[in-house]
Structure 1
Amino acid sequence: MEKSSLIRPVILGACIIAISLLHYFTPLHLHYLHDIFQRFYYLPIILAALWFGFRGGLLCSIIVSIAYAPHILFQWGGHLTVEMEKYLEIVLYNVVGALTGLLSQRERERTVELQKTARGLEESYQQLQQQSERIIAIEEQLRRAEKLSTLGEMAAVLAHEIRNPLGSIRGTAEILKDDYKPGDPKHEFIEIQIKETERLNRVVEDFLRMARPQPAEMSRCSLVEELETVVTLVARDAHDRGVTLRLAPFSGTAMVTANGEKLRQAFLNIVINALQATPSNGRVEIALHKVESGYEIKVSDTGTGIDADSLTKIFEPFFTTKPDGTGLGLAITRKIIEGHGGTLTVESEVGKGTTVEVRLPASH
């Protein structure tokens, strides 16, 4: 038995013994003191009832009765009126102990029931909150799906109405370019025309990629290998920008079920964005971690960061803060990640940098 469970019985026993000794060692002619002492017995009885319920209160009152009875028989013997009063007091001890214990036990049971009800209400509230969050997430997905549906319809028209004339314009411009030497103003104008047609062609390609459904072919692939490939592809760009690019070591292969090409495209978009946002002498770090649900990829940079207003819009199609950006890179990236059952979140602080977190389920 633990110390904490022994303290209360010891306190009750000490009280009963102390009160009984006061009775036995106090002269009988000081009857007013005995009247006070016999009332003291109610203290341990009530405490026992409050602490231990019906059985505790009744047991304590019986012990008090046994301790008090010899005092009545041997010290107050011969005084019938006094004895009757004392015996009635013993009856009251047991009545008070039983009733107080019963009421205390019922109150304790009621408290337990209320606590159970409170826990049930709290669990229900948490479930409702989780359901509400899921509903909000589903509504957001439906809104994005509606936008993508519209984009898909527009993409078919754009593919036919823009790309074919665009190819003709670029071909004609390249022919005209040969008629003028470098340094001629018309040569420079034609170069601008070719660059702008290339940029417009990239916009159309990104737009088509955004609307095109993800391929169904999935296979087991290694996240470590995909990230190493991405680092290799952008290493020269990072060097030219004066940015330190680092992939943190990871023990293992981190296998996931995915379309390797699309996954590589998503990681490439994220890392290129980080490099473009990071000034010279800055850092871009890529870290892969094992988490409970699968794997977590973090791409952190020491760039200029994104303000709170722009942060809420970065996944919207055609929203961009870059002069020559199409505003489709992150939208495409999130679509790829979500198509693989993962999530993509962005945290940023102006002046300190941005962290993009991708979570993907492990391969089963």
Structure 2
Amino acid sequence: MVDQFGPQFLHFFTEQTAVEAEDYLNTIMKSDDIVSALLRDKLSDQDLGILYNGFSRDGKIILVGYRTQMMSRLVGEFAHELRNPLTIIKGFIQLCGHTKEYDKFQPIILSEVERMYTILENFLTLSLRKSTFVRMNPDELCKKLIAFLSSECAVHKVTFDYDISYSENVCKVDLDKIKQVMINLLRNALEAFDGHTHEKKIMFRGSVEDKGYRFALIDNGPGVETDVLKQMGKPLYTTKSRGTGIGLSLCKKIIADHRGTFCVSSVVGKGTTVSFFLPFVSP
């Protein structure tokens, strides 16, 4: 780019970053080593910028650049994956403080710690765990999900209820990943209650539909504006000050891997319903 555009190369950057870029180019000329710099460009606002590795050879500046969009998404996904088991561990430890039943919840806490080790191992080897699918009756799956949904709601003093329809058919699921989806959806619902003083309610519903089963989480929170609703699920999009913008996009991907569909509906002032549909499979 330096050879092709000369000083115009700096026009790819914002004014402040152009100064940094010029300093970076000068540093390359004075150094015998490869010099790295993360520079923000004007071409995309979806990533951190471009990580440039540059060195000087025979008076020429040679640059190799790497867009950091994938890097930032990977970091965000990693943080999000670790926060899921941490959320469960925190919830059960708080519950132990209320019930004093430490022995009862110890296996669950240890299993989530083990899941954190698995996540770390996956990311250290730069390969995400492949899905492990098993055939499962959907209402049996619901019962497993209700076990931790109800305890989390109890810790956060949210009224929890559920309504599950029985089905003789089965779905093909990765239990850990479906649990991850429900953790994400529950956390979003609980965070939406922040600052609201009315009675907080969450409803979990499992219903039989044509050719499949629908799992839904319904809250009576503040709801979501239409403009925000249209953006939800896009990678890196978030309205939270400390959000990663990864949660819902991960949920959508997991459900897509299950050959299912994902849906979000909301009415401002009344609440939000997030649901996903999993198809039945042949016996």
2:225 to 293, 300, 307: 307
Partner of 2:10: none
User: How far, CA to CA, are the matches of 1:359 and 1:151 in structure 2?
Assistant: 34
In the alignment, does 2:49 pair up with 1:154? Answer: no
User: How far, CA to CA, are the matches of 2:218 and 2:255 in structure 1?
Assistant: 18
Amino acid of the structure 1 residue aligned with 2:252: R
User: How far does residue 229 in structure 1 lie from its aligned partner after superposition?
Assistant: 2.6
Instruction: Decide which structure has the larger Cα Rg and report it.
Output: 1
Partner of 1:8: none
CA separation of 1:156/1:300 partners in 2, compared to 1, >3 Å: closer, same or farther? closer
User: How far does residue 291 in structure 1 lie from its aligned partner after superposition?
Assistant: 0.9
CA separation of 1:291/1:339 partners in 2, compared to 1, >3 Å: closer, same or farther? same
User: How far does residue 228 in structure 1 lie from its aligned partner after superposition?
Assistant: 2.5
User: How far does residue 214 in structure 1 lie from its aligned partner after superposition?
Assistant: 6.4
CA separation of 1:236/1:157 partners in 2, compared to 1, >3 Å: closer, same or farther? closer
Partner of 1:256: 171
1:215 to 127, 130, 135: 130
CA contact (8 A) 1:287 1:297 kept: yes
1:346 to 239, 246, 264: 264
Partner of 1:269: 184
- 1:12-31 maps to which residues of 2 (within 5 A)? none
Amino acid of the structure 2 residue aligned with 1:267: M
CA separation of 1:227/1:212 partners in 2, compared to 1, >3 Å: closer, same or farther? farther
More strand by share: 2
User: How far, CA to CA, are the matches of 2:73 and 2:268 in structure 1?
Assistant: 39
Deviations 1:312-350 (A, max 9, x none): 111112222223222211111010001100000111111
User: How far does residue 250 in structure 1 lie from its aligned partner after superposition?
Assistant: 2.3
User: How far, CA to CA, are the matches of 2:238 and 2:275 in structure 1?
Assistant: 20
Deviations 1:196-255 (A, max 9, x none): xxxxx9xx98xx6xx965624322023323332333223333123321111213224652
1:320 to 223, 229, 238: 238
Partner of 1:227: 142
CA contact (8 A) 2:184 2:251 kept: yes
CA contact (8 A) 2:73 2:246 kept: no
- 1:1-364 maps to which residues of 2 (within 5 A)? 154=71, 215-252=130-167, 255-278=170-193, 279=196, 281-364=199-282
User: How far, CA to CA, are the matches of 1:254 and 1:272 in structure 2?
Assistant: 29
CA contact (8 A) 1:226 1:264 kept: no
CA separation of 1:158/1:216 partners in 2, compared to 1, >3 Å: closer, same or farther? closer
Q: CA RMSD in A?
A: 3.5
Alignment partner of 2:236: what SS?
coil
Amino acid of the structure 2 residue aligned with 1:226: L
Alignment partner of 2:164: what SS?
coil
User: How far, CA to CA, are the matches of 1:265 and 1:338 in structure 2?
Assistant: 14
Amino acid of the structure 2 residue aligned with 1:239: A
Per the normalisation by structure 1, the TM-score is 0.41
User: How far, CA to CA, are the matches of 2:266 and 2:73 in structure 1?
Assistant: 36
User: How far, CA to CA, are the matches of 2:255 and 2:68 in structure 1?
Assistant: 19
Q: Which runs of 5+ in 2 are unaligned?
A: 1-66, 80-115
Amino acid of the structure 2 residue aligned with 1:240: V
The number of residues matched between the two structures is: 172
Q: Which runs of 5+ in 1 are unaligned?
A: 1-149, 164-200
Amino acid of the structure 2 residue aligned with 1:320: T
More helix by share: 1
Say which structure, 1 or 2, has more relative contact order (CA 8 Å, 6+ apart). 2
Amino acid of the structure 2 residue aligned with 1:264: K
User: How far, CA to CA, are the matches of 1:357 and 1:273 in structure 2?
Assistant: 13
